[in-house]
Structure 1
Amino acid sequence: MFDVVITGGEIIDGTGAPRRRGDVAIRDGVVEAIGQLDAASLEAREVIDATGRIVCPGFVDIHTHYDAQVLWDPTLSVSPVHGVTSVVIGNCGFGVAPTRPADRHQIIRTLEKVEGMSAAALEAGLGDDWGFASFPEFLDAVEAQRPLINVAALLGHTPLRLWALGEAATTRAATDDEVAAMRDAVVEAIGAGAVGFATSKSTTHLGAGGRPVPSRAAELDEVLALCAPLRDIGGGVVQATVGPGLFFEEFGAIAERTGGTVSWTALLANTGEGVPAWMLGESIALQDRGLRVLPQVSCRPLQFEFTFAEPFPFESMPEFAPVSAAADDRAKLAVYGDPVWRAELRRRFADGRTGALQASWDRTVIAAVPGDPSLEERTVAEAARSLGVDATELALDLAVASGLQTRFRLAAYNYDDDEVAPLLASDRTVLGLSDAGAHASQLCDACFSTHLLGHWVRDRGTLTLEEAVHKLTAQAADAFGLVGRGRLVERAPADVVVFDPATVAAGPLRRVHDLPAGQDRLVADAVGIDAVLVRGTVVARHGSVVDGGPGERPGRVLRNGRA
């Protein structure tokens, strides 16, 4: 008798091959048989009727920030309900290990600023004793949580630099001895199971106190030295977030040094006329030289919901430096009330010099105004024109009058489907940038998988189901070296999704208060996902997580990509 049999579905195996009708039999966490099974073979402890459904491998999310959340929420909500069975953490070079107790406050403040995580939630969720210091100890701590789904981890450059250089990590190059110490830590992390290394030079990545994150102070020689040990595990993966000193020339050098994959973020639409096509072309040129340089693309509009208490989309503008450095909301209100400061910000918006996220009042929607819903869901520019006032002044007045509680929503990039489509359809890109676990109060792109299947496959026809499933499974798993994941074949781990192609979708965003310390986040419900299995155990059913507790959770830490 099998543990689970999934009967009568259309099987898409993740390789890109055409679908075929059949059954899937699972025993002891692996796929035992696939095909037209006889009646005697269909006996199982649980039978899932997949008539009219697609049966495919579990989805792989290569770009998440669950490093902290997994330590208090081993279900990694909301990813499982959207069919995700394996995630990669540590992206953009951010994480919580290695760490010294004295540096933990700065790590929390860095995650608060750069990844939009609530400091109150982090402090309450992680507690006073994190229970680990080194990266190997961190992986052990994740494993001890018995996560619901599989977790692979990148070693982050920012906590590594902070561990080696202390307060100087944000301001200077590392000495030879410091580079050697960090390289030893990389070797140790790889030995414990890291799948790669992540770093960032993005000008949007500002950490504690509004200072550049530590990885931005690193020179190329340091980055190359820290990536070099990856060659010992067959190349591994380097996840790189672009910025000055970390672009195509450097990607090529890193790929040559490691012999592995450089997965860079992010190739987005609406970044300037001709820019996405040029960036894709540069990546293809490196690939044609035999280098695995893979741009990550997103299937979701990159939009942020924010307040002026934490004005993340604006923080790369110099005018917001005193806001980032402000000790509390009262100090921020003082900045926003300064007429000289306001005049400078008006000039910046008038000139179109609005920071790395290209902020625009024409693309900034008033999402929620306490006590005055009449302006909601109108752009700031539209509302200002109707009221006969300046748009910058209106936004600031709304923020100040509400005690910084008014919410805005900026569509920064990737908002034009016609520009997104060719990037998404290219076989030279990899699907990523969900940022699951980060920017929790600002966005929820952890639903990227159901959005891809509903919007880009069924509604627009940009991809076939087979192409979309391939991007969500085998292509993503192969890019990050997750061995055995991403294909629904015999003897593979039984990570499986059963979904309805006629209804699958990401539901609308809604705000909940379920983080530690009662902090809020945006979530999206999954529509049309019947069942999600990890190693043959159902972890989500019809939009709800199924958590049997620590002894029953089937997820594994994928050390060096292997369970």
Structure 2
Amino acid sequence: MTYDTIIRNGRWFDGSGAPSAIRDIGIRDGHVAAISADALDGTGCADVIDASGRWVLPGLIDIHTHYDVEVLGGPALSESLRHGVTTIMLGSCSLSTIYVNGEDAGDIFGRVEAIPRDFVISAVDQHKSWNSCAQYISALESRPLGPNVAAFIGHSDMRAATMGLDRSTRDDERPTRAELARMEAMLAEAIDAGMVGMSSQQLLFDKLDGEACRSRTLPSTYAKARELRRLKAQLRRSGLILQSGPDIENPLNLGSQLAQSLGLFRKKLKTSLLSAADVKANPYAVALLGPMARLVNRFGGDFRWQHLPVPFEVYADGIDLVIFEEFGAGAAALHLRDEVERNELMRDEAYRRQFRKQYESKLGIRVWHRDFYDAEIVECPDPAVAGKSFGQVGADRGGLHPVDAFLDLVLEHGRALRWRTTISNHRPEVLKKFAADPGVQMGFSDAGAHLRNMAFYNMGLRLLRHVRDADRAGKPFISIEQAVHRLTGELADWYRLDAGHLRVGDRADVVVIDPEHLDASLDAYAEEPVAQYGGLSRMVNRNDDTVQAVLVGGRTVFRNGQPSDLVGRTRTGSFLRAGRPVPALQADIADSEVLLDVR
């Protein structure tokens, strides 16, 4: 029996949470053809990977990315591949590029996701050849995709394309009957084409870029109950998923988002909500998240929180950071594109008073804890301030208020002032509770967005390290098998994707990990320029000693931190349609012999 690849003597995890075991894995025609406790015959096998002392897992799944723009011109998506992520989800937070034109896409993605607007416009205008979900999927499949791709259709995308960006972002405008019918037809076509569902947004500090509608919130946030009910009804009938972000300042909105999942007197609505986080601004709210999910699911719902299973550390260049959108003074600065005007505003004493007042206010729910003593300067032309907090700088400058110290440094150095803070997920004991909670999904990496602000491409590896370290310390909170399941099979099964498992007959999406290098290198800072964004330096992760090999559809895409010749040249990934098996890129194994020996 001949194999294309054999992975020898690795600790095999099948993605189901079942006990792991030392096995040889034989791959043929893109699928797992054999799993054996005995050595497989390597005669004629072109590639034998020695996985002794290594873990062999199903490829990891990233359920929340914003690669919608990058995938058009850079479909290899190698920053995810190199960390063992073999399946990514597009279309999060109501944003997709299926119907909008380049100009509107630039306005919708540019500021919210911190992707340079001009490059968004250029990418969409240059590559767009589709006018439907089916055509969009065909266009992606014509590209040299690195990982597998699945997608939501974005509500803001449908709404802007149907009503126009201006009308779709006005409180006094409603879609006409014909426009609402068109959005329903778009969603129906998306369901038929194999999308996993629809993403929407009610969070009110995601703002538009550009000039015409600048600083309005996303189109989805303007939708009223009737419009949302009709779209959600289609999702209920199809059994597909609504991904949404609640208006965190409105408890009624959050409650309705939870309640909508219930199946009382109607079909339940599978709902994935942003997000479960241990935010510093409200350390007590975290105690309610798990119980709320369990209560909804106990009464017939199918609800999941999305959760980033690592500390949510963010970086900023000057004042360019989305957290400032959540209060008036911060949003006012980000509203101004012209640097001269923005600097003039930041010098104004009345503006500074407003900023200080809102910074110090304890009222309302917020994401950022607003503590400039908990914000470290990491780079600055003035070396005297590097390594200090803005609060310390204020004290050094004669007792300046931290806000004034921050604004002064932004005025002095602009984007050359780089700083960081951790907003949430800072308590390891809380992360352990989330990791074990069945109402919480591992996700929310935001890969492909916030290029200068965050890098969570290796979040799966960091969760595995957390679990492995606790196990070694004799204080396990979940097993390694359960952790692998949470990052792979659990997600694939809930989203109904042909991925996430490593059994005989499954497609061979595989990652080989050296557990001895689940170490401090996972936290190291790194940057890499992005060619399609004009060479903009993006925050990334580099753990080349940790991930030994990555295979997509049975073909090696990374080995010891280096991409193979296939990456960016040949399509290895497939578009994953909800509830449907993926046709093999190579000959199918249906007529081939398989060997299963799980002694």
TM-score w.r.t. the length of structure 2 is: 0.88
| Aligned-partner Cα distance in 1 for 2:509–2:87 | 9
Q: Secondary structure at the match of 1:408?
A: strand
| Aligned-partner Cα distance in 1 for 2:200–2:531 | 27
Does the 8 Å CA contact 2:6/2:45 hold for their aligned counterparts?
yes
Match of 1:66 in 2: 67
**1:375-386 alignment runs, 5 A limit:** 375-386=385-396
Match of 1:145 in 2: 143
CA distances 1:321-374 after superposition (whole Å, capped 9, x unpaired): 4323323212211111111101211222233469543332122221211x2223
| Aligned-partner Cα distance in 1 for 2:241–2:43 | 41
Specify whether residues 177 and 379 from structure 1 end up closer, same or farther in structure 2 by C-alpha distance, changes over 3 A only. Answer: same
Match of 1:238 in 2: 242
Instruction: Answer with 148-157 or 507-516: which moved more.
Output: 507-516
Specify whether residues 360 and 175 from structure 1 end up closer, same or farther in structure 2 by C-alpha distance, changes over 3 A only. Answer: farther
CA distances 1:169-215 after superposition (whole Å, capped 9, x unpaired): 11134333322110111011112221111011112222231111111
| Aligned-partner Cα distance in 1 for 2:231–2:530 | 38
Match of 1:222 in 2: 227
| Aligned-partner Cα distance in 2 for 1:129–1:427 | 40
| Aligned-partner Cα distance in 1 for 2:455–2:267 | 33
The Cα of 1:42 is off from its aligned counterpart by 6.5
Q: Give the one of 390, 396, 402 matched to 2:407.
A: 396
Specify whether residues 162 and 219 from structure 1 end up closer, same or farther in structure 2 by C-alpha distance, changes over 3 A only. Answer: same
Match of 1:512 in 2: 528
CA distances 1:18-37 after superposition (whole Å, capped 9, x unpaired): 11111100000010111223
The Cα of 1:120 is off from its aligned counterpart by 3.6
Does the 8 Å CA contact 2:105/2:120 hold for their aligned counterparts?
no
Instruction: Answer with 340-349 or 144-153: which moved more.
Output: 340-349
Q: Does 1:501 align with 2:515?
A: yes
Does the 8 Å CA contact 1:547/1:553 hold for their aligned counterparts?
no
Match of 1:252 in 2: 259
Task: Say how many residue pairs are matched.
Answer: 557
Q: Secondary structure at the match of 1:188?
A: helix
| Aligned-partner Cα distance in 2 for 1:275–1:470 | 27
| Aligned-partner Cα distance in 1 for 2:48–2:229 | 51
Q: Does 1:423 align with 2:434?
A: yes
CA distances 1:512-534 after superposition (whole Å, capped 9, x unpaired): 22242122210111241110111
| Aligned-partner Cα distance in 1 for 2:42–2:402 | 67
Match of 2:342 in 1: 332
The Cα of 1:128 is off from its aligned counterpart by 4.2
**1:304-343 alignment runs, 5 A limit:** 304-308=314-318, 310-343=320-353
| Aligned-partner Cα distance in 1 for 2:518–2:118 | 35
Specify whether residues 404 and 255 from structure 1 end up closer, same or farther in structure 2 by C-alpha distance, changes over 3 A only. Answer: same
| Aligned-partner Cα distance in 1 for 2:25–2:43 | 9
Match of 1:469 in 2: 484
CA distances 1:101-147 after superposition (whole Å, capped 9, x unpaired): 4xx32321221111111224324444545323333332222111130
Q: Secondary structure at the match of 1:86?
A: strand
Match of 2:585 in 1: none
TM-score w.r.t. the length of structure 1 is: 0.94
Match of 2:497 in 1: 482
Q: Secondary structure at the match of 2:10?
A: strand
Match of 1:181 in 2: 182
Q: Secondary structure at the match of 1:553?
A: coil
Does the 8 Å CA contact 1:236/1:258 hold for their aligned counterparts?
no
The Cα of 1:458 is off from its aligned counterpart by 2.5
Match of 1:11 in 2: 12
Q: Percent identity?
A: 27
Counterpart AA for 1:229: Q
Which structure 1 segments of 5+ residues have no match? none
Q: Does 1:266 align with 2:275?
A: yes
| Aligned-partner Cα distance in 2 for 1:344–1:424 | 40
Which structure 2 segments of 5+ residues have no match? 583-599
Does the 8 Å CA contact 2:6/2:25 hold for their aligned counterparts?
yes
| Aligned-partner Cα distance in 1 for 2:568–2:58 | 24
Does the 8 Å CA contact 1:72/1:126 hold for their aligned counterparts?
no
Counterpart AA for 1:336: M
| Aligned-partner Cα distance in 1 for 2:184–2:356 | 46
CA distances 1:293-320 after superposition (whole Å, capped 9, x unpaired): 0111111222321133523211121113
Instruction: Answer with 191-200 or 448-457: which moved more.
Output: 448-457
| Aligned-partner Cα distance in 1 for 2:376–2:107 | 28
| Aligned-partner Cα distance in 1 for 2:229–2:286 | 26
| Aligned-partner Cα distance in 2 for 1:55–1:390 | 53
Q: Secondary structure at the match of 1:82?
A: coil
Does the 8 Å CA contact 1:248/1:283 hold for their aligned counterparts?
no
Q: Give the one of 543, 551, 575 matched to 1:557.
A: 575
Specify whether residues 255 and 376 from structure 1 end up closer, same or farther in structure 2 by C-alpha distance, changes over 3 A only. Answer: farther
The Cα of 1:231 is off from its aligned counterpart by 4.2
Counterpart AA for 1:241: G
Match of 1:522 in 2: 539
Match of 1:451 in 2: 462
CA distances 1:41-87 after superposition (whole Å, capped 9, x unpaired): 66521100010011111111111111111111111131111111101
| Aligned-partner Cα distance in 1 for 2:42–2:299 | 49
Match of 2:596 in 1: none
| Aligned-partner Cα distance in 2 for 1:316–1:397 | 21
Q: Secondary structure at the match of 2:525?
A: strand
| Aligned-partner Cα distance in 2 for 1:191–1:547 | 35
Q: Secondary structure at the match of 1:402?
A: helix
Counterpart AA for 2:112: V
| Aligned-partner Cα distance in 2 for 1:348–1:260 | 38
Match of 2:506 in 1: 492
Does the 8 Å CA contact 2:261/2:302 hold for their aligned counterparts?
no
CA distances 1:429-478 after superposition (whole Å, capped 9, x unpaired): 11011111111110011211111122343267544311211111011111
Q: Does 1:164 align with 2:162?
A: yes
The Cα of 1:385 is off from its aligned counterpart by 2.6
Q: Secondary structure at the match of 2:157?
A: helix
Does the 8 Å CA contact 1:269/1:414 hold for their aligned counterparts?
yes
| Aligned-partner Cα distance in 2 for 1:455–1:106 | 41
Q: Does 1:357 align with 2:368?
A: yes
Q: Give the one of 282, 285, 290 matched to 2:300.
A: 290
Does the 8 Å CA contact 1:430/1:471 hold for their aligned counterparts?
yes
